[in-house]
């Protein structure tokens, strides 16, 4: 886990070095003009992303979520671990899918990038948005108790949640 994060931090710095204008994901999160994502069809208008019909003057772009999926560069990591997790993976994956679907209706840029069931044990869920990582971790705890720790890494604009049971 630690090694993976370090690798991504390095990657992030490389991306920054290539793009002196700033964080490409932050820019894609808040375009200057009304926009429509050419991959997922999400629409940016009146300062927020939503599903719907794009305005006529919408600029064609790639939203931050599609950019993160393409780059495999998550904004959130939720790690579930412990013996209970290994015997309830199907139940946990269903909760992840339901929570994602519910969140994504109102927040198009909040998506699950992947669920890694690991070679040994546990589950790691990566997300395009920090909000989804945080609320997902809390949903797991609300439903199944256990122990939760959520950390926000300001430097990397990243949410890391670790839940164990």
Shortest distance, position 48 Cβ to Zn ion, whole Å: 14
- How big is the CA angle at 116 (ends 106 and 65), to the nearest 5 degrees? 35
SS3 18: helix
> How far does CA 135 lie from the centroid of its chain?
11
Tokens of 11: 């990657």
Distance CA 110, CA 130 (A): 8
User: What is the binding site for Zn ion (CB under 5 A)?
Assistant: 37, 39-40, 42, 63, 66
Shortest distance, position 37 Cβ to Zn ion, whole Å: 3
8 A C-beta contact, residue 126 and residue 89: no
Q: Which of 103, 82, 101 is nearest to 146 (CA)?
A: 82
Shortest distance, position 35 Cβ to Zn ion, whole Å: 10
Q: Which is nearer to Zn ion, 61 or 124 (CB)?
A: 61
Q: Which is nearer to Zn ion, 66 or 78 (CB)?
A: 66
Shortest distance, position 98 Cβ to Zn ion, whole Å: 22
How does 31-46 read in b/e, with b if 16+ C-beta sit within 10 Å? Answer: beebbbbeebebbbbe
Q: Which is nearer to Zn ion, 81 or 111 (CB)?
A: 111
Shortest distance, position 61 Cβ to Zn ion, whole Å: 8
């Amino acid at each position: 886990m630690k090694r993976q994060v370090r690798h991504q931090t390095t990657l992030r710095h490389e991306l920054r070095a290539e793009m002196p204008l700033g964080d490409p994901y932050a820019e894609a999160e808040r375009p200057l003009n009304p926009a429509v994502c050419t991959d997922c069809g999400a629409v940016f208008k009146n300062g927020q992303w939503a599903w719907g019909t794009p305005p006529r003057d919408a600029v064609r772009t790639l939203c931050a979520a599609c950019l993160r999926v393409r780059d495999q560069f998550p904004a959130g990591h939720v790690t579930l671990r412990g013996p209970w997790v290994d015997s309830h993976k199907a139940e946990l994956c269903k909760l992840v899918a339901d929570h994602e679907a519910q969140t994504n209706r109102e927040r198009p840029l909040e998506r699950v990038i992947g669920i890694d069931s690991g070679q040994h044990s546990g589950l790691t869920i990566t997300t395009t948005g920090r909000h989804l990582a945080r609320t997902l971790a809390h949903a797991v705890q609300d439903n199944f108790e256990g122990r939760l720790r959520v950390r926000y890494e300001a430097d990397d604009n990243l949410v890391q949640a670790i839940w164990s049971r």
